[in-house]
Structure 1
């Protein structure tokens, strides 16, 4: 997936060894594997088509099965190739951005112990309110206000997507320059998030920026904004908060390489893979990950 994502912002030179060529080959491999999964799932659904079949009810609960049972606007079944293309795009968008952000959050929590302690306090209060073995629910997620403020500040400083392209829908003037309709524009998440007008001392890690009303509209855009805002925003929020809740309530950690940083390659990634040493809150032994 990383090779595919890197291909989005590479020079379109399809020669062996280039980033663009690796992206094309990786995309073909992933698409082939997804097509095999789609093909097998359709067979499974056909074999368990009985309304009373327990396996049938289980399969119908996931996204792939819903797509396989879906139709186009004209009522015709969705083709397997179109389903594969949809899933391919979903995996690319849902994988890189989430794991990159989790790496950044884990790194910041290891570097700011007072922030980690505040996160731990909030998450333990939620954990202690649950019965043994009881899973998190939506109400619990909504209580994770400080943890989400931490995640938002990390997304401000280390956005997984540095920016994207848009097209001007009308003529307009910006900073004295005429931007004609139809011109392709690149808007930078990094420069937006470091704007002194909205974020004083912009290089400082300060989760309190997101308390109360939070930043001004369109000054904070890790998920974009307006009608083109990323549809996976809530998925990313739920995924990260649930993972971090389970991590923080079980472990404290230290980076194996204390000076390790995130670098653009071409998206933010830890220079050494971010190995950490885990310390259970009720330790019998420590471990590395």
Structure 2
């Protein structure tokens, strides 16, 4: 009996010891991070196809808002372009990613997009150079530098109206807006004005743009394959221009009154003895082309569409612009002070960008673990901020589908809710450049024409910017007292 009791006591002691050891191990075991709620979709492709379908159908907001409703209004997870993603939502999510988390994220683009643009694959190897070039951009694109661009833009807009708009009673706005914005980009970014060369650049970038939203399949006759080839040719043209400018430097030619961004960038690199590769310079200029071409022409087209649908807004813009036109002498071009007077016109453009944002957001790479809204985003994941979580959110914009430029009067929308240009240190450096380009176009358009849409129910798709499927056909009615 004593032996049995002894055995039982040993068994009890052993069980208690094992239990204590197990509890200690369990208590000290590192817990898995609480990932953002959501799902990753299908293997390999994730939710990329669903995201693409939402854009093509003309309702990219639905992809975001459905998941905000189902998983979280703050942050949710997804899988896009073969990567794990955390999608940050709302004004608070934008603020966190733009400011608080800024030191823990880097700019990131899908590999297929980089390949279409013919960017160097080893982006990390060029990161320091690209960051250095990006730091230079505010010097070229800040208001003090941009003032010289205003008369050039106005002169080119007048020529554009005379050649491409005035001779016709009916036009397609989108392709003409693209022609205008690309001609200005060629003139002010790389100082190319030859029509044949501008058209060649245009065709190449159009092929690249079509490939950006296609399936990344590099087979003959696919849009992606054509985009890769076009991106290579585009960069070969840029390299030739860069080398030509360097020869001009050696010959001490063309350094006075330099206007285009490329030449000024190369001058600063040379004057400071910096070692920056031609690939990095070409990549930086390509980024400016992409940012100043499709997005700006899309905003101009959307602005014309909403003004055609809103007689009150059109009349207010006409009144504002006519007052400026009457203050000008014969042949006198717009200047910086004139642009500052176009407050209501810019409110109209901002409301157009709210309703039809030219870009849906931007990608980031998480370089150190982030914690937000009770969720942890691991290092190596990708982050995405999007206009879709705020621009049409009734929490921030009552009656969000209504076109109402008065939203931007006074102090305007709540911070971090209107973000077509992003925010924080990585805000689009070309914001002021785009503002000048858009307002200069509006001035020349509204002082010459009244217009009406020929297809009131034209569908809008995203490719990747908002695109009327028929190019926004308009009937033009010249004003009797046009400038």
CA distance in 2, matches of 1:257, 1:283: 27
CA distance in 1, matches of 2:263, 2:376: 49
Secondary structure of 1:277's counterpart equals strand
Structure 2, unmatched stretches of 5+, are 1-204
* Bigger RCO (CA 8 Å, 6+ sep): 2
Q: Does 1:94 align with 2:298?
A: no
Equivalences for residues 105-124 of structure 1 within 5 A: 105-124=303-322
Q: Does 1:85 align with 2:289?
A: no
Q: Does 1:32 align with 2:197?
A: no
- Which residue number corresponds to residue 256 of structure 2? 57
CA contact (8 A) 2:294 2:465 kept: no
Work out which of the residue numbers 5, 9, 15 in structure 1 matches 2:219.
Answer: 15
How far does residue 62 in structure 1 lie from its aligned partner after superposition? 2.5
How far does residue 15 in structure 1 lie from its aligned partner after superposition? 2.2
CA distance in 1, matches of 2:326, 2:266: 41
Q: Which has the larger radius of gyration?
A: 2
How far does residue 134 in structure 1 lie from its aligned partner after superposition? 1.7
CA distance in 1, matches of 2:270, 2:415: 36
Give the total of aligned pairs: 277
CA distance in 2, matches of 1:75, 1:283: 54
CA distance in 1, matches of 2:450, 2:222: 40
CA distance in 2, matches of 1:68, 1:225: 27
**After TM superposition, what 4+ stretches of structure 1 lie above 6 angstroms from structure 2?**
none
Equivalences for residues 1-289 of structure 1 within 5 A: 1-47=205-251, 49=252, 56-58=255-257, 60-71=258-269, 75-76=273-274, 78-168=276-366, 169-174=368-373, 177-282=375-480
Q: Deviations over 1:82-131 (max 9, x none)?
A: 43332222111111111111111111111112211110001111111222
Distance 1:77 1:177, change over 3 A: closer
Q: Deviations over 1:50-101 (max 9, x none)?
A: 6xxxx5525x333232233232697156554443332222111111111111
Secondary structure of 2:401's counterpart equals coil
CA distance in 2, matches of 1:256, 1:283: 24
Structure 1, unmatched stretches of 5+, are 285-289
TM-score by length of 2: 0.53
TM-score by length of 1: 0.85
How far does residue 145 in structure 1 lie from its aligned partner after superposition? 0.8
CA distance in 2, matches of 1:193, 1:252: 29
* The structure with more helix, counted as a fraction of residues: 2
CA distance in 1, matches of 2:265, 2:376: 45
CA distance in 1, matches of 2:481, 2:425: 48
Secondary structure of 1:57's counterpart equals coil
Q: Deviations over 1:230-266 (max 9, x none)?
A: 0000000011001111111111112233332422133
Distance 1:202 1:69, change over 3 A: same
Secondary structure of 2:256's counterpart equals helix
- Which residue number corresponds to residue 287 of structure 1? none
Secondary structure of 1:187's counterpart equals strand
CA contact (8 A) 1:68 1:77 kept: no
How far does residue 186 in structure 1 lie from its aligned partner after superposition? 1.9
CA RMSD of aligned residues (A): 2.5
CA distance in 2, matches of 1:190, 1:267: 13
CA contact (8 A) 2:295 2:465 kept: no
Secondary structure of 1:69's counterpart equals helix
CA distance in 1, matches of 2:262, 2:361: 30
CA distance in 2, matches of 1:19, 1:138: 41
Secondary structure of 1:219's counterpart equals coil
Distance 1:200 1:2, change over 3 A: farther
CA distance in 1, matches of 2:347, 2:262: 33
CA distance in 1, matches of 2:314, 2:476: 14
Q: Deviations over 1:113-159 (max 9, x none)?
A: 22111100011111112222222122111111111110000000101
